[in-house]
């Protein structure tokens, strides 16, 4: 599972490095949310404050922000390396 996480994060950074469109961030954020559900299971979703839908919205927002950070890291790496 950890290798899958590294691959997904690598796609986000590589997308930023190669200048892929910004909707890549949303797709990678969705992939990270799915990874989160696979890794931690559905138990946190069942006991979350606000119910399962609120949990999914929170985790999707957090993972999209993380994907954006990795995308920007790829853009920064591209600008550093030329």
Tell me the pLDDT tens digit for each residue of 29-52.
Answer: 999 999 999 998 888 888 888 888
Domains in the chain: boundaries = 2-81
* Cβ-contact 45, 56 below 8 angstroms: yes
Report pLDDT for 25. 94
H helix intervals, 19-50: 23-40, 43-47
pTM of the predicted model, to two decimals? 0.87
């Amino acid at each position: 599972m950890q290798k899958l996480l590294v691959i997904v994060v690598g796609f986000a950074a590589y997308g930023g490095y190669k200048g892929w469109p910004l909707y890549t961030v949303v797709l990678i954020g969705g992939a990270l949310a799915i990874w989160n559900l696979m890794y931690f299971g559905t138990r946190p979703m069942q006991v979350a404050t606000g119910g399962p839908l609120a949990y999914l919205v929170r985790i999707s927002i957090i993972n999209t922000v993380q994907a954006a950070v990795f995308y920007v890291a790829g853009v920064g790496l591209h600008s550093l390396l030329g």
